[in-house]
Structure 1
Amino acid sequence: MKPTSSPIIDVAIRLGLIALLVFLSFTYLRPFLGLMLWAMILAIALYPVHAKLVPKLGGKEGRAATVLVLGIVLVIGAPTVMLSVSLVDHVLSIYNQAIAGSLRVPEPSDNVAGWPIIGERVDTAWRAASENFHGFAVAHEQQIRDFAHNLMSLFGNVLTTSLAFLAAFIVAGIFMAYAKPGAQTTSRIFNRICGPETGDELHILSVATVRSVAVGVIGVAFIQALLLGVGFMLAGIPAAGLLALAVLVCGIVQLPAAIFVIPVVAWMWMAGDGSMVANIVLTIYLIVAGLADNVLKPMLLGRGLAVPMPVVLLGALGGMIVSGLIGLFIGAVVLAVSYQLFMAWVNEGKGLEEKAARVQGELEDRG
């Protein structure tokens, strides 16, 4: 008599093999997981632009994706490379001058001491460096080393992140070239997991949420940074470009632009050289630009979604706190889908209550 295996043992072995296969697959894909997630998010966000390019390029999906990605790579990659080369050359020039003893620091202007909070300390240190840079460097050697190390680390991180984004754009182009079969496969996955009744709805909701966050959070932050950057340049603010970049980062993390606008307006009135009329006009412009997100965000974030805007915003902020920038999208999608499933369950219970009340009414009428 041949021994027969128990069905429970068979199921346990199969589940174990499936778990092992999932674990190994995740282990081998983990180094590329961030790149693939960013590529998918970028492909979803850029697909409307891609869809408009397809008819203009003879209906070729691959050609449209190639043109779009090349355009983005040129717009982002070329300035990044030029800025990196220029920064490296500038740093090397300063280093060589410091080694040769020929580095000269210009004296600060009289307006520096009038800067709010840090003006006096900056003016004192600046003047000491301009009068005797060698002595200043010897006295603050460790601070200069730490500052240079942190600056180069920051530059390396920014450069690495920029190159990773360029790679993500290239992979996103491949996704967009095969968008239709990819969307069909994703729809089948949603239908298999969630059922045919809600699968397509949740699939559409996930795509719309990613685009809503891209426009309502990153898009609004970019618009506000551009508006304030122009204002900073017109006001003659030092390092206006860096301040605009800081506004962009703070806008993405949902910090108010007032933390930059108020000091800039104060500096403009206290240390600027503009006329009173120009200062009044620029002050009004900067205040309006600093409050632009309060108008744009409710208009763009959550537009066209069946989920309330606060749900998407809370999911984006919570995801960013937990998982960084990519969490903006993942958190918003997870919370939006969870809200939709919860409301579907609540509405199903409401339907059952109404049906029970209707049956109870019919029984009472018969009685």
Structure 2
Amino acid sequence: MQPGFKLDSVLSQGLLDVLIKAGLVATLAIFAFQVFQPFMELMLWSVILAVTLYPVLRWVKARTGLKDGHAATLIVLVVLLVLLAPIYLLATSIGESVDSLAVVLKSGTWSVPAPSRSVAEWPLIGPRLYDFWLAASTSLSDVLRGLLPNLKDTGRMLLGAAASAGGAFVLFIGAIIISGIIMAFGETGTVAAQRIAMRISGEERGKHISALCTATIRAVALGVIGIAFIQMLLIGLGFVVKGVPGAGILALVVLVLGIAQAPASLVTLPVIIYVLSAEGFSAATIAFAIYIFVAGLADNVLKPLLLGRGVDVPMPVVLIGALGGMVVKGIIGLFIGPVILAVTYKLFWQWVDQQVPKMDSPAKPSE
């Protein structure tokens, strides 16, 4: 046997072994992903919540001296209480409102007041709104009968949205509980994340990338949930001072819209129209309308200030990652998008800054 043929045989056997091992590893990875996929969204939310709330756990430990597990349990209970109490009050309020509406409709005593003539003078929607409102005040049953086909489709859509929201709420509750378990092992998890990052990108970059991911998640949590909470307080305060019916429920809807990155104007504009139509144009109603309109746009000012705070990445990168991530992956994309884009941004510039080693110039011959 010739040496060249033997060398080719050895190389072919080695290549075959590598391909077989790579195929087995790929098969194992695909099967593991399929097994884990049903729980992926739950675990992503759990990790995001754990990273966001871990500074709170350290603060509780410093103030109370509790162990990690006890402090995590306390935080989870408080978060569940804060989350479940408004939901319970909202569901109770909606149930009472539906019962009251059903009683009024059955009695046949409910009627729509006639619109003010000034409604017809509103730009764009004034004439059509005035005609519809006038017809409803004259014969509400005929108007409802004409809208019945549309109301059925809308009802089905609302029921589907309610079912989807209920499933998301249950998943979020489970994520909060699991995040408490993750926080109880926070130090171990931090070391594990750093080891994984160092194994992927090297020891020098690993710790920095791990810290960047953590800071980005917390910055987005502050820039999304914090801004939504501030906007809810500003708008809710205006609703309460003006005496808008259901001010608390409307403020809670503003909070949900803010977290979902939907405009608060979906709530503020109908309320402004309601107040102006019910009380007319006066100094008080105009001041209320201006305040509520400006408060509904507060997120456009606060988001650039808070969204990228504490992150070693330009704010536009975080903002684009949050918005693009939400378009691609929904609410959870708000957190995943900025992390991926921030890490990519840092790795790209580290690659750009790497200097190509220059070859030593040949020594000049001695004269």
* TM-score under structure 1 length normalisation: 0.81
Find the counterpart in structure 2 of residue 219 from structure 1.
Answer: 226
Determine the structure 1 residue equivalent to 2:137: 127
Question: Counterparts of 2:166 and 2:291 in 1: how far apart (Å)?
Answer: 33
Deviations 1:73-127 (A, max 9, x none): 11212332343355356546766887xx545533336459839526425524532
Asked if the contact 2:258–2:264 (Cα under 8 Å) also holds between the matched residues in 1, the reply is: yes
Structure 2: which amino acid aligns with 1:127?
S
Of stretches 246-255 and 289-298 in structure 1, the one that deviates more from structure 2 is 246-255
Mind listing any 5+ residue stretches in structure 1 that lack a counterpart? none
> How far apart in 2 are the matches of 1:174 and 1:108?
56
Contact residue 257 and residue 264 of structure 2 kept, 8 A: yes
| Structure 2 match to 1:70 | 77
Q: CA deviation at 1:18?
A: 1.2
Q: Indicate if the aligned counterparts of 2:115 and 2:130 stay in contact, CA closer than 8 A.
A: no
Shift of 1:6: 1.8
User: In the alignment, is residue 42 of structure 1 matched against residue 84 of structure 2?
Assistant: no
Aligned mates of 2:266, 2:88 — CA distance in 1: 31
Contact map agreement 2:322 2:337 (CA 8 A) in 1:
yes
Q: Is the 8 A contact 1:77 1:166 kept in 2?
A: no
Identify the match of residue 178 of structure 2 among 171, 178, 193: 171
CA 298–61 in structure 1, closer or farther in 2 if over 3 Å, else same: same
Structure 2 equivalent of residue 108 of structure 1: 113
Cα 1:112–1:90 shift into 2, 3 Å: farther
Is the Cα–Cα contact under 8 Å of residues 229 and 244 in structure 1 kept in the other structure? yes
Greater Cα offset, 111-120 or 7-16:
111-120
* RMSD across aligned positions (CA): 3.6
Paired with 1:340 and 1:273, the residues of 2 have a C-alpha distance of 55
- Between 1:248-257 and 1:13-22, the stretch displaced more is 248-257
Choose 266-275 or 34-43, whichever is displaced more. Answer: 266-275
Partner residue, 2:334: 328
Residues 128 and 136 of structure 1 are in contact (CA less than 8 Å); yes or no, is this contact kept in structure 2? Answer: no
Which deviates more, 80-89 or 18-27? 80-89
Pairing partner for 1:7 from 2, 11, 14: 14
Who is 2:346 aligned against?
Answer: 340
Residues 136, 143 of structure 2: 8 Å contact kept: no
Name structure 2 gaps, 5 residues minimum: 1-8
| 1:301 alignment partner, one of 300, 303, 307 | 307
| Deviation for aligned residue 1:249 | 5.1
How far the C-alpha of 1:47 sits from its partner, in A, is 1.1
Q: Is structure 2 residue 320 aligned with structure 1 residue 314?
A: yes
AA at the equivalent of 2:305: M
CA spacing shift, 1:196–1:121, aligned 2, 3 Å: farther
Query: 2:236·2:247 contact (CA, 8 Å) conserved in 1?
Result: yes
2-structure distance, mates of 1:272, 1:162 = 38
SS in 1 for 2:111: coil
The CA deviation at 1:22 is 1.1
Matched, 1:150 2:160: no
Distance verdict in 2 for CA 1:283–1:124, change over 3 Å = closer
Residue-by-residue CA offset, 1:209-254 (whole Å, 9 max, x unaligned): 0000111123112211221122133334455456545544554465
User: Matched residues in 2 for 1:225 and 1:320: separation?
Assistant: 21
CA distance in 2, matches of 1:35, 1:112: 54
d(CA) in 1 for partners of 2:252, 2:197: 38
